[in-house]
């Protein structure tokens, strides 16, 4: 388990190091659907949440309209949704799929241990970032330290795998600073047949968005529908570890986002 200096942010990182964090949970009812403001979220790190399973990850270049989101939340096939920002951010020479979120709605799509870790979401609300275990360990990102990200820098509060296909999570305020504005992405929990749900969602949103299905590892691959997002180019050119052989850039949207297996850190 990685250790960090014992600051308020580091305490959140320490809590994260004790968790096996994966995207899981039980399905929510339609009564639990919440609609964040289209203009941007009001961050909340303490509101209780009802767990939901992330079935679809959707994004487009422009923010979704309030009308589109309202129509989605009234579809019978949509049991819950969270409006987010989504973009590809350069961090130490790698493109990282990044989400700007309101913890009050997004955390419901994470594992119970992650969702209940109030200190973790307070760190996000206060301006720090969560990074997935795979990216944090692959790139040797330092905990409780600021790293160049997109247009600015961001402090890494800890490691937490939240929703498959998202490797860094920040608040809407931090997202604006690094170049990923809130409102152009959605995480959706589906009720019933995912194909039927996707068709209805496509009818509401049109041809522009990329719609990815978050599937079990046994499911077949399927292509995304829609254009890919441009990345956020950093204003700072970092000097990554020259001894590390960088893998292929993971930031481009995948054909299918797969649910990761639990990883334990002791």
**147-160 tens-digit pLDDT:** 999 999 999 998 88
Confidence of residue 5 (pLDDT cuts 50, 70, 90): very low
Structure tokens at 40: 């941007």
Mean pLDDT for the stretch of residues 212-232:
48
Mean pLDDT over the full length of the chain: 73
Is the per-residue pLDDT at 250 higher than 60?
no
Cα–Cα distance measured from residue 61 to residue 148, given in angstroms and rounded to the nearest whole number? 23
Lowest mean pLDDT among 10-14, 154-158, 211-215, 245-249: 245-249
Predicted local confidence at residue 204, as pLDDT: 97
Beta carbons within 10 angstroms of residue 207's beta carbon = 9
Identify the burial level of 164 via C-beta atoms within 10 angstroms of its C-beta, where 0-12 means exposed, 13-18 middle and 19 or more buried.
buried
How confident is the model over 171-217, as pLDDT tens digits? Answer: 999 999 999 999 999 999 999 988 999 999 999 999 999 999 986 43
Is the per-residue pLDDT at 78 higher than 60?
yes
Beta strands in 35-173 (DSSP E): 56-59, 78-91, 94-101, 129-131, 146-149, 152-159, 168-171
Confidence of residue 45 (pLDDT cuts 50, 70, 90): low
Q: Which residue has the tokens 């180019």?
A: 233
Predicted local confidence at residue 194, as pLDDT: 87
- Dihedral, CA atoms, 152, 155, 160, 163, nearest 10 degrees? -20
3-class secondary structure, 193: coil
Confidence of residue 232 (pLDDT cuts 50, 70, 90): low
What percentage of the chain carries pLDDT values higher than 70? 62
Q: Strand 210-215 to strand 56-59: parallel, antiparallel, or no bridges (unpaired)?
A: antiparallel
């Amino acid at each position: 388990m990685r250790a960090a200096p014992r600051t308020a942010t580091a305490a959140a990182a320490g809590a994260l190091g004790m968790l096996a964090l994966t995207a899981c949970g039980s399905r929510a009812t339609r009564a639990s659907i919440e609609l964040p403001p289209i203009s941007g979220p009001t961050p909340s790190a303490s509101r209780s949440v009802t767990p939901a399973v992330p079935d679809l990850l959707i994004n487009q270049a422009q923010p979704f309209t309030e009308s589109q989101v309202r129509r989605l939340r009234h579809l019978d096939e949509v049991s819950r949704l969270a409006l987010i920002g989504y973009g590809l951010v350069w961090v130490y020479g790698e493109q990282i799929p990044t989400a700007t979120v309101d913890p009050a709605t997004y955390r419901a799509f994470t594992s119970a241990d992650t969702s209940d870790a109030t200190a973790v979401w307070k760190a996000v609300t206060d301006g720090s970032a969560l990074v997935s275990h795979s990216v944090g360990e692959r790139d040797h990102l330092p905990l409780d330290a600021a790293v160049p990200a997109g247009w600015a820098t961001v402090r890494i509060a800890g490691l937490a795998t939240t929703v498959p296909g998202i490797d860094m999570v920040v608040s809407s305020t931090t997202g604006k600073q690094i170049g990923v504005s809130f409102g152009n992405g959605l995480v959706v929990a589906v009720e019933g047949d995912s194909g039927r749900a996707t068709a209805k969602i496509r009818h509401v949103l049109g041809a522009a968005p990329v719609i990815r299905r978050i599937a079990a590892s046994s499911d077949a691959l399927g292509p995304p529908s829609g254009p890919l997002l441009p990345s956020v180019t950093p204003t700072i050119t970092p000097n990554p570890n020259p001894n590390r052989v960088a893998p292929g850039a993971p930031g481009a949207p995948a054909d299918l986002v797969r649910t990761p297996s639990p990883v334990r850190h002791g």
